[in-house]
């Protein structure tokens, strides 16, 4: 009866006017509930949704404030519109390009577009960077990765190979992973397998393990494929929260391989 009474009161304008704290508490509870979902804090999200605003307060001090902006919640007191930092950074780089027109500024702009998934704009900026500095390994490799995401692997391959000839471990193995993905897209399975083996000789990326496992499975080596998939799932259990968010896609594919 008490819950039913409170529910009715929520839609009573007179009650809300006389008890504005209720609206404030509800807004705060919704804010913390959404933040918990964004962070993947599912137990907290259930507690905030099911129980009182006390759960939201506990979450605010124990998770939101403690983890801060680094884990995606923005633990700053000041409110900021979504994407505001990205837009400010974009304007800053565009201003530098207008006044200085350095190759590195074009590269920074391209990387920003790339991170936002604006690959066509990123390609143009990478090419502007390479016009000013044709030997920049980062620009060469990142343009190759951009072309791969634009479904142009044949154009991506020579750029990625060039970057790796300049620095075999460029971007901590990410450029070599992009080459392996490019080789897979081009149907060069043997070359892709060798590239994945080279990546995994120095790194333990879930992205590499799963794509290597999928190629092995296609070759009939189900046992090794499942072993790699289980490694990804086991590693995920003990990984930091930011890493778990980054690898969520690969963990799902690992679960499919195990099944």
Domain segments of the chain: what residues?
Answer: 2-71, 85-184, 204-259
Q: Look at the block and give the residue holding tokens 């980054």.
A: 246
77 DSSP 8-state letter: S
Q: What is the pLDDT of residue 36?
A: 79
DSSP assignment string, 40-64: T-HHHHHHHHHS-HHHHHHHIIIII
Q: What is the pLDDT of residue 22?
A: 66
Take residue 81 and report the two structure tokens written for it: 């519109």
Q: How far is CA 151 from the centre of its chain?
A: 20
- Report the distance separating Cα 136 and Cα 129, nearest Å: 8
pLDDT band at 19 (very low <50, low <70, confident <90, very high): low
Asked whether the beta carbons of 245 and 216 are under 8 A apart, the reply is no
CA dihedral for 192, 194, 198, 200, sign (positive or negative): positive
The neighbour count for residue 125, using CB atoms within 10 Å, is 26
Q: Hey, which CATH number is domain 85-184, 1.25.40.10, 3.90.930.60, 3.90.550.10, 2.120.10.30?
A: 1.25.40.10
Coil, strand, or helix at residue 255?
helix
Say which residue, 103 or 241, is predicted with more confidence: 103
- Mean pLDDT over 64-83 rounds to 45
Asked whether the beta carbons of 35 and 73 are under 8 A apart, the reply is yes
Lowest-confidence region among 16-25, 39-48, 93-102, 210-219: 16-25
Q: What is the pLDDT of residue 69?
A: 40
pLDDT band at 85 (very low <50, low <70, confident <90, very high): low
- Mean pLDDT over 7-34 rounds to 64
Question: Where are any strands of DSSP class E within the chain?
Answer: none
- Report the distance separating Cα 234 and Cα 248, nearest Å: 13
Asked if residue 6 has pLDDT above 60, the reply is no
DSSP assignment string, 147-159: HHHTT-HHHHHHH
Say which residue, 154 or 27, is predicted with more confidence: 154
- Report the distance separating Cα 235 and Cα 203, nearest Å: 13
**Runs of H (alpha helix) within 133-205:** 137-149, 153-166, 174-185, 189-202
Q: At a CB cut-off of 8 Å and minimum separation 6, what does 257 contact?
A: 210, 213, 214, 217, 225, 226, 228, 229
Instruction: Kindly report whether the global pTM for this prediction surpasses the value 0.85.
Output: no
Residue 206: C-alpha distances to residues 86, 172, 199, 219, 222 (Å): 28, 14, 11, 20, 17
Q: Name the residue among 84, 66, 86, 88 with its Cα closest to residue 75.
A: 66
Q: What is the pLDDT of residue 206?
A: 95
- Mean pLDDT over 76-92 rounds to 59
Q: Look at the block and give the residue holding tokens 């490799």.
A: 141
pLDDT band at 90 (very low <50, low <70, confident <90, very high): confident
């Amino acid at each position: 009866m008490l819950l039913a009474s409170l529910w009715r009161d929520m839609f009573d304008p007179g009650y809300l006017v006389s008890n504005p704290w209720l609206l404030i508490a509800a807004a705060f509870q919704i804010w913390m509930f959404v933040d918990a979902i964004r962070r993947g804090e599912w137990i907290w999200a259930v507690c905030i949704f099911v129980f009182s605003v006390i759960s939201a307060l506990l979450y605010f001090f124990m998770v939101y404030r403690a983890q801060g902006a680094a884990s995606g919640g923005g633990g700053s007191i000041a409110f900021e519109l979504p994407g505001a930092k990205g837009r400010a950074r974009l304007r800053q780089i565009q201003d530098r390009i207008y006044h200085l027109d350095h190759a590195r500024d074009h590269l920074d702009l391209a990387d920003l577009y790339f991170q936002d998934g604006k690959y066509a704009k990123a390609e143009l900026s990478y090419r502007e960077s390479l016009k000013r500095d044709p030997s920049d390994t980062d620009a060469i490799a990142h343009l190759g990765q951009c072309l791969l995401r634009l479904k142009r692997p044949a154009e991506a391959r020579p750029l990625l190979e060039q970057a790796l000839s300049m620095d075999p471990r460029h971007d901590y193995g990410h450029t070599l992973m992009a080459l392996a993905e490019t080789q897979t897209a081009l149907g060069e399975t043997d070359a892709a397998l060798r590239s994945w083996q080279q990546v995994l000789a120095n790194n333990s990326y879930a992205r590499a393990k799963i794509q290597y496992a999928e190629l092995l499975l296609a070759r009939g080596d189900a046992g090794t494929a499942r072993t790699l998939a289980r490694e990804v799932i086991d590693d995920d259990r003990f990984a930091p929260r930011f890493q778990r968010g980054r690898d969520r896609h690969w963990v799902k594919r690992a679960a499919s391989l195990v099944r």
